[in-house]
Amino acid sequence: MPHANEIFFVVSSLILWGLVIPSLSLLRSGEHVKSDSYWLWALIYSAGSYTIFSIASVTSIRLITLANMFFVAGHLYLTLFVIALIKPTFREFKYLPLLGILVFGIIFEILRQNGSFADRVNFVVITSIFCLLCRLILLIRLGVGKSTQLKFLLLTTFVEIIFASSRLVLLYLDPPAINIYLYQESFLSTLFRLCWFAFQVLSYIAIIGYYIEKISVERTLSNTERKRISGLHQELLNVNQLLEEKEQLVKELSEEKMKSESANVAKGHFLANVSHEIRTPLHGLIGLTSMMLKSSMSEEIRKS
């Protein structure tokens, strides 16, 4: 089929750019997505790679070098994404991979001008397999745990290695012509490339799913935390209300105690005055009676 490879690259680029657009919205969902954005750069590089592949045959074949640089950059940045999951401080070296991509581009351009098609494909595929193997080892070291998406990423990475290796094997079993380009590859080689691309897309979908899963869990925890804080706030208000009621009760009891003490003091003063008023005449009467009994008054006077 004429221009089958160009159609494949156009469709592939549209699929990848279709993943880029919703992925950008994830950046607004949390700081951890921004800090681990190697995967997004990998997706953009891959989409750019297939876009350049789709136009290189009708514009300038020299763009093949740039397209392959972007292709390898996608695999490299996915590996860096996994490294960042294990060791977040690795983000401090974010400009170092660009140097590696530049060196790759220089070597590929030399092979484009002086080497064969097989040399270029070997160089690109072997570099990609190296990145894929590193990613696979790092994912195993990371321990995907309970994350279904990371387990799926581990699987897709393994299958990508199989298809990439199969393309190398096919290259040795059925060597292509020396001076052809990617667009004149055999049907079987194109089929392996298509399968590799399919699992590459699934790898990106797994990563996007991982962050959606992570954001969903964080939002659930956040809602639970907000409810717990709201409950604690209500309990605090209830405690404050109880404390205010206690203070009011203590104040009322204190006032009642003061009133009771004042009443007791007044009662004491009253009883003292009454006792004094009663005691004084009684003492006088008792004294007078005693004097009369002791005096020599006649019996009649006493009786009277």
The structure's pTM equals 0.69
What pLDDT score was predicted for residue 134? 93
| 4, 48 Cβ separation under 8 angstroms | no
Q: What CATH number is attached to the domain comprising 116?
A: 1.20.1070
Does residue 277 lie in a domain region? Answer: no
- Say what the pLDDT of residue 301 is: 54
Report how far apart the first and last C-alpha atoms of the chain are (Å, whole number). 161
**Digits of tens for pLDDT over the chain (304 positions)?**
456 777 888 888 999 999 998 888 777 665 555 556 788 889 999 999 999 988 888 888 889 999 999 999 999 999 988 888 887 655 556 677 888 999 999 999 999 888 888 888 899 999 999 999 999 999 998 876 667 888 899 999 999 999 999 988 888 887 776 676 666 777 788 888 889 999 999 999 998 888 887 777 776 755 555 666 665 666 777 777 777 777 877 777 777 777 777 767 766 666 666 666 676 666 666 766 666 666 655 555 555 5
CA–CA gap between residue 75 and residue 303 (Å, rounded): 139
Of 42, 44, 129, 23, the closest CA to residue 80 belongs to 42
| Phi-psi region at 138: left, alpha or beta (left = phi > 0; alpha = psi -120 to 50) | alpha
- Residue 247 resides in a domain: no
Q: How far apart are CA 187 and CA 20, in angstroms?
A: 29
Structurally, the chain folds into a number of domains equal to: 1
79 to each of 64, 65, 207, 299, how far by Cα in Å? 23, 21, 12, 138
Look up the domain containing 15 and give its range: 4-230
Three-class SS of residue 94? coil
> What is the spatial distance between Cα 21 and Cα 14, in angstroms, rounded to a whole number?
11
Residue 272 domain flag: no
240 is a domain residue: no
Per the CB < 8 A criterion, the answer to whether 49 and 193 are in contact is no
In a domain, 186, yes or no: yes
- The reply to whether 291 falls in a domain is no
Residues 6+ away with beta carbon under 8 Å from 154 = 136, 139, 140, 144
Query: Does the residue 130 lie in any domain?
Result: yes
- Alpha-carbon gap, residue 161 to 199, rounded angstroms: 10
Type and span of the H or E element at 25? helix 4-26
Residue 20, in any domain of the structure: yes
For residue 161, the model assigns a pLDDT of 95
